[in-house]
Amino acid sequence: MSHIAVIDYGSSNLRSVSKALEAVASPRQNVRVTNDPKIIRNCERAVFPGQGAIGDCMNQLKQLDLIESIKHCIASKPFLGICLGLQSLMTSSDENDGIDCLNIFSGNVKRFVRSNTRTNLDKIPHMGWNQVHWTKSHFLTQGIPNSSYFYFVHSYFVNTSSPTIIASKTKYIQEFTSAVSRDNVFATQFHPEKSAKNGLIFLANFVKWNGNSSSLAD
């Protein structure tokens, strides 16, 4: 029996993530919501969901002694970041007057700025369904047509200085990076666990993924 660790730092929407993973996991895969560094380090694959403020997230990761275990997973096994789990992988965030993040990917996290000409349309946070435009082929996106809709809830977005890691883009107020990938890591601004059929296909691909960025779905 292998296990999928859903990393619990104390303020994530863990139930919907774990239930969605359980719906697509094989009988030999056990989904475990955990904040135990040892369990996380020894998992087969890891999922890092997040919501709320980045400052609270980083403080909790430090207090629970989770940072090194997360970095171990990022370096060695299939790893999926969701929402704040994506933003935390960047160098820094403008939120909370500036916060150092995990610095896995170069770039920072910026807040949406509402357009003066479209105030009633460009509400912040960006909340609801929006199109995701894949920018490169990947195992996790196989079976999901380009420009499919996924669910978003966020006021901040990642601004990376490494265009090669961009896996998808989405338009809201401006065009922004809605997913990144490199090697065995894939991270999304959208919530696959709240994205109905497309989200379940995405997660079903993740639980089968061997972590090879060049692999294609069967």
191 catalytic per annotation:
yes
Active-site residue (options: 3, 101, 126, 193): 193
Q: 43, 57, 73, 83: which is the annotated catalytic residue?
A: 83
Q: What is the DSSP string of the chain?
A: -EEEEEE--SSS-HHHHHHHHHHHS-TTEEEEEE--HHHHHT-SEEEEEE-S-HHHHHHHHHHTT-HHHHHHHHHHS-EEEEEHHHHTTEEEESGGG-EE---SEEEEEEE----TT-TTTS-SSEEEEEEEEE-S--GGGTTS-TTEEEEEEESEEEEES-GGGEEEEEEESEEEEEEEEETTEEEESSBGGGSHHHHHHHHHHHHH--S-TT----
68 is a catalytic site residue = no
Q: Is 126 a catalytic residue?
A: no
For the annotated catalytic residues, the residue numbers are: 83, 191, 193
